[in-house]
Amino acid sequence: MKPEDTTTPEQPRPPARLPLWANPRIGLVVLLIALIALFTTLRPAFLNTQLTLVPMQADISVYAVVGLSQLAVLSLGHMNMAVGRMAAMSAFASGLLHDRLDAPLIVALAGGLAMGALLGALAGLIIARTGVNSFVVTLALDFALIGLVSLLYASFTDGVAFNGLPAGMSALRTDTFADYCAGDLCGPPIPLLAPIALVAVLVVGLLFRWSRTGREVLMAGSNAKAAELSGIPVRARVIQAHALSGLLAGLAGFLLSANNGAFSAGVGDGFLLPSFLAPVLGGTLLVGGAVSVLGTVLGTAITQVIYKGLNLLQFQVDELKLYIGLVLLAALSLDRLRHVLAERRGVPA
Amino acid sequence: MTSTVESTATRAATPAAPAPSRLRRTVRTSEFTLVALAVIGFVALTLTTDGNMLSAGTLAAFFRFLAVPMIIGLAQMVVLAIGQMNLSVGVLTGFCAMVAAWAMLEAGLPAPLAVLGAMLLGAAVGLGNGLLVVFTRINAFIVTLATMTIIDGLRYGVNGPGTYQDYSAGLEELGQASLLGLPVVFLIACAVAATVWFFFARTVPGRHLLASGGSPFAARLSGVSNDRSIVLAHALSGLLAGVAAVLTLAQSGSVNATIGDDLLLPSFAAPIIGGVALAGGVVSVLGTSLAAFIVRLVDVAQAQFAINRRWVDLIVGAVVLGVVLSGAIRTKLSRRSS
């Protein structure tokens, strides 16, 4: 999926074929393959299904959804600094539904998603109504929710987590499709979390590519004034994009809770950085108007491969950060270089 | 005279009000609201704690732990002045503190040299941020997000999970010392704040910086180098983070790799409550300092009444949101009345 560009040229001309090197997604795929090859040669255990590949796929599933949550508002040129806490609130709602009402898995999930969407819509409403910078609003919301989450967990549970999970959730955590066999035929070693994330990726991708609402959100992000004048209800689109961000944050919170095996207050603590890393690595700009869903997934995959690979090479957790930061800087600078080269050759990139 | 410093470009853009009286103009500034809020909060806290607030120990502690949030708020404000952000202020503070402590303990450097080194290191990293922003033309948010991650790793690399303490008796003494009943670290912070105010209000580079923030295009046409402003703002932000690191070293007596983790969000809260626009071109040193004061009041109230620590975050979040909303409403009302 290419970054959707909403600015149409004055004269409709046949879209110029991009040369291969000018497509940022190809670069990401090459980088991903190179990294996997590198880590595999250094540590053959990198391709061990049980130890590395399955947990890594689960992590990619979680953080791809986190990235999409940020992408939903980056499409507007907005930010959501409260992704982590929206996820935590959603996980709390799911946990509470299960703990007090004994809700089954699907109801708990729905409750969590509703909570996330509600919080996102609240942020969107404030931003649309007052015109205050989204960064400020979501930052303040994050502050407020940090406090609220801990207070809620303190008053509704014994500590910082709910005991017990809805039936079926531990299967999400431990099982892969390989555990379900029809006779001799078993599924691939893909964790059960992956298809959920895949659905999210497809829905968001289709939304921004084909749906009217999605296109209008992108247009509002590209130029709010022009969008307003063209009859697009910009305020409604702002609220919807933020609600989508909250919903996806809620989904990410649910997936991480499934991965961790508990609905706890710590869910979402580490979401903020990856939420920006993945879309930005994938070529989504902060100015709005263009998103790359596939790029976000690739960005997530690259980050997680680096984490896992350096982990296997026994780097300390905090050393990892150093390299992730360097990779981000290098990737962005290369991207910039690609842009400059493309501009020089007159190729729209 | 309020201490909100605005670029001329921004000021020219706002329509001239029909000259209300000086008093009404003063009352309408956001600084006035903040002063009122700070005084009311302080008095309320004094009354409800039976004057415990005014005891020498409590008062000294109140101001001692106000110093770092103030400086960190200013470090963020300097970059907000050009309409950019610096996500690396918090970890940079921790990194500088760790390196200075390492220099004193492991490299055997005297304290004054280490202090100077910490500030230079901060400025150098900030300079790096600024140069990256200028040369790559990547959004400062992303650049500092990347450098934040890198510095986070470096900060941990200095001493792993270990703690440095007893690095310098002189520095720790300074951290505990008082002058005229006020802690010296607080007075240093005030002096730094005054310098920053002077920089923005009275010096040419400071005015250029605000011009770039207010309208880069107009600034360029007037012969101001926006690139220079960007580099300068980031370097200054780093320098202030270095100062915050020194103050942390002085007042806490021990540092480890978690220093600075809890500074990033407050660094934004103070300028935003203080009325600094994220769009750039406007700074308010007094507002930022007052906002840090108010946040500190909430902190102390929490300690005095033994409230759950988490209420503080909730209240600070609500205050930021409230200030932002009231600001938006005020603009709407004044637009209607004019």
Between helix A105-130 and helix B309-337 the angle, nearest 10°, is 40
> Could you give the CA distance from residue A267 to residue A259 in angstroms, rounded to a whole number?
10
Q: B324, A137: Cβ pair inside 8 Å?
A: yes
A-B contacts (CB, under 8 Å)? 139
In contact, B66 and B300? CB cutoff 8 Å: no
Q: A319, B143: Cβ pair inside 8 Å?
A: no
On whether ipTM exceeds 0.85, the answer is: no
Looking at residue B20, what DSSP letter applies?
-
What is the average pLDDT score of chain B?
82
Q: Label residue B276 by pLDDT band (50, 70, 90).
A: confident
Higher pLDDT, B32 or A275: A275
Q: Can you give the three-state secondary structure of A220-280, one letter per residue?
A: HHHCHHHHHHCCCCHHHHHHHHHHHHHHHHHHHHHHHHHHHCCCECCCCCCCHHHHHHHHH
Under 8 Å CB-to-CB from B31, ≥6 apart: which residues?
B2, B3, B4, B275, B284, B286, B287, B290
Cα→Cα distances B65→B100, B185, B252, Å: 20, 9, 9
CATH number assigned to the domain covering B66-327: 1.10.3470
What is the average pLDDT score of chain A?
82
A-interface mutation test, from B87, B324, B331, most A Cβ less than 10 A away = B324
pLDDT reading at B2 higher than 50:
no
How far from chain centre, in Å, is Cα A17? 29
- Report pLDDT digits (tens) over B43-60: 888 888 777 777 777 778
Q: Which among B157, B313, B324 has the least Cβ separation from residue A136?
A: B324
> Could you give the CA distance from residue B137 to residue A336 in angstroms, rounded to a whole number?
8
Between helix A24-42 and helix A317-344 the angle, nearest 10°, is 150
In contact, A153 and A161? CB cutoff 8 Å: yes
Q: Which among A139, A150, A277 has the least Cβ separation from residue B265?
A: A139
Task: Chain B: give the shortest CA distance to residue A240, in Å.
Answer: 21
Query: 3-state class of B224 per DSSP?
Result: coil
Under 8 Å CB-to-CB from A80, ≥6 apart: which residues?
A69, A70, A72, A73, A86, A120, A123, A134, A138, A242, A245, A246, A249, A275
Q: What is the pTM of this model?
A: 0.81
Q: Tell me what the mean pLDDT of segment B157-176 comes to.
A: 79
- Nearest CA among B89, B96, B148, B94 for reference residue B117: B96
Cα→Cα distances B167→B61, B99, B102, B110, B253, Å: 22, 12, 8, 10, 8
* Cα–Cα–Cα angle for B248, B253, B254, rounded to 5 degrees: 85
Task: Chain B: give the shortest CA distance to residue A168, in Å.
Answer: 33
Q: A143, B257: Cβ pair inside 8 Å?
A: no
pLDDT for the residue numbered B26:
64
pLDDT for the residue numbered B265:
80
pLDDT reading at A322 higher than 90:
no
Which runs of E-coded beta strand occur in B20-101?
A: none
Quick count: other Cβ atoms within 10 Å of Cβ A342?
A: 16
Tell me the percentage of chain B whose pLDDT exceeds 70: 88
Task: Chain B: give the shortest CA distance to residue A287, in Å.
Answer: 9
In contact, B45 and B304? CB cutoff 8 Å: yes
> Could you give the CA distance from residue B290 to residue B36 in angstroms, rounded to a whole number?
10
